[in-house]
Amino acid sequence: MKKLGLSRASALTTIGLTLLLASCDVPRSTLNPAGPAAEKLANLEWLMIFIFLCVTFFMWVLIMWAMKRTRRGNFSEHAPIDIGGGQGWVTFGGFLFPFIVLTFLFVVGLRAMSSFPMGDNEKTEEPKPDILVIGHQWWWEAHYLQGGVDQHFTTANEFHIPVGKPVDIALESTDVIHSFWVPKLHGKVDLVPGQVNYIRIQADKPGNYGGTCAEYCGAQHAHMELLVVAQTPEDYQAWYQHQLQPGAEPTDPEAVHGKEVFLAGPCILCHTVRGTSAGGTVGPDLTHLASRQYIAANAFQNNKANLEGWVTHAQTMKPDAEMPNLSFFTGTDLRSLVAYLQQLQ
Ligand code: CUA
């Protein structure tokens, strides 16, 4: 190690860690792009890492060279060292070199940034988004806007998209600034109150692509997650048609009782289940809650225990969320209520 030198050891460690990060299938790594826009950004990232390594290497060579010269020469400790070249070094190293490198990166960066707006669409006409995503403290509301009004529906936190097809998303916020970020599909775009922003995502192969809110937005910012599920066109169509349906009518006696509990309780003030009298719009649409993999903006797995916990102790699981502790639901009522929610496929 001594012979290798600290600088070279740290440079090798950096290269090693970078390669490791790129080779592992890290679910949310920007270095593992899964769509064309993310690929553009990943290429930019690799280029920057490469240039950063070259510059670091060049600097260390210069430092080593200067140290060697100092030792060889017969200098007293505090005497100024003339390495020759005079002003040429200052002009090149202090101005020309950084100017060329930074200008190059700036231009390449600008080109990569062109992938952000929704292409030419934005310049020529009013954009027609496929999905309108609205940020809330702390969850994501999604309105699917394809086709006619009878083809529209609302869901939350889990967005399905067809593979190989660009999907245009309009981004709005009802409260504070959030930021939509699915690292493997694209960069970040903010959701700003009073303004509509756009992003175009595309996934090249089916899979789950995790995302998160990338702008600090309050107590539960870290638990404002989202999931993009990319499906084959057939699977996507099946999902889409299913989501258009009203909430499943329970047949099991426990779930039938659960529906009564649900409709008689305060749930309906905030939540919607299409096909019932529950029409609240404060919280996520629950029409197909059971078809989603997670609850509470993807902070918890969607299962019986977490649903019971969420209904009765939401403030413990996610303090400050809009969902209150409905701890008066106990025993049979609670079990029935969760049974009803779990059959909302
Ligand atoms: Cu929303 Cu951070």
Q: pLDDT digit string (tens) for 39-52? A: 988 999 999 999 99
Which of ligand 1's atoms lies nearest the C-alpha of 222? Answer: 2
Residue 156 has pLDDT above 60, yes or no: yes
In the reported structure, the alpha carbon of residue 226 is separated from the centroid of ligand 1 by a whole-number distance in angstroms of 11
Q: Are 284 and 302 in contact (CB under 8 A)?
A: no
In the reported structure, the alpha carbon of residue 299 is separated from the centroid of ligand 1 by a whole-number distance in angstroms of 13
pLDDT at 228: 95
Alpha-carbon distances, residue 214 vs 33, 98, 217, 225, 337 (angstroms): 18, 31, 9, 9, 34
- What are the pLDDT digits (tens) for 47-99? 999 999 999 999 899 889 888 876 655 555 555 556 566 677 788 888 999 99
Residue 136: CB within 6 Å of ligand 1? no
Residue 121 has pLDDT above 80, yes or no: no
Residue 65: CB within 6 Å of ligand 1? no
Q: Are 273 and 259 in contact (CB under 8 A)?
A: no
Window from 81-85, 218-222, 246-250, 324-328 with minimum mean pLDDT: 81-85
Mean pLDDT of 306-313: 94
Which of ligand 1's atoms lies nearest the C-alpha of 138? Answer: 1
pLDDT at 26: 59
Question: Helix/strand/coil (H, E, C) string of 42-65?
Answer: HHHHHHHHHHHHHHHHHHHHHHHH
In the reported structure, the alpha carbon of residue 23 is separated from the centroid of ligand 1 by a whole-number distance in angstroms of 29
Residue 8, Cβ neighbours under 10 Å: how many? 14
- What are the pLDDT digits (tens) for 176-228? 999 999 999 999 999 999 999 999 999 999 999 999 999 999 999 999 999 99
Mean pLDDT of 146-174: 93
- Place 128 in a pLDDT band, splitting at 50, 70 and 90: confident
As a whole-number percent, the residues of the chain with pLDDT over 90 amount to: 68
Residue 221: CB within 6 Å of ligand 1? yes
Q: 80 vs 148, which has greater pLDDT?
A: 148
Q: Are 225 and 298 in contact (CB under 8 A)?
A: yes
pLDDT at 83: 58
Residue 250 has pLDDT above 60, yes or no: yes
pLDDT at 314: 93
pLDDT at 3: 53
Window from 20-29, 108-117, 257-266 with minimum mean pLDDT: 20-29
